[in-house]
Amino acid sequence: MALIREDQNLFVVDLHYIVPLEEIEPHIEPHLAFLDKHYAAGCFIASGAKVPRTGGVIIATAESRTALERLLEADPFKKEKLAEYSITEFRPGRVAPQLKE
């Protein structure tokens, strides 16, 4: 299954925890459910915790940056003000063949 259209930009979403890890832990399951929902919809390509665990990273695709920002508002980490989000949009110059449409 192709994930990335040739004319489509990608986004790197950088989450940085702004509360102690103990406050993050109770919200992990709802956050994972949020991720699963958007993997199923084809919006998220990869995600994971940073090393060291100061936040996380999501590689995403969306119709626009605005659409992605709206989608991220539903993330429990954002709703509960547990993390700050930085979004970098980029146009891929090269993509692994199995990811192209």
Mind listing the domains of the chain with CATH numbers?
Answer: 10-92 (3.30.70.1060)
pLDDT reading at 1 higher than 60? no
Residue 19 structure tokens: 């509360």
Min mean pLDDT across 8-12, 31-35, 70-74, 79-83 is at: 8-12
Residue 5 structure tokens: 């259209």
Residues sharing a CB contact under 8 Å with residue 80, sequence separation 6 or more, in sequence order: 27
**Cis peptide leading into residue 97 (ω within 30°):** no
Residue 86 structure tokens: 């930085």
Predicted confidence at residue 101, as pLDDT, reads 59
How would you class 77 by CB atoms within 10 Å of its CB: exposed for 0-12, middle for 13-18, buried for 19 or more?
buried
Tens-digit pLDDT profile for residues 37-89: 999 998 999 999 999 999 999 999 998 999 999 999 999 999 999 999 999 99
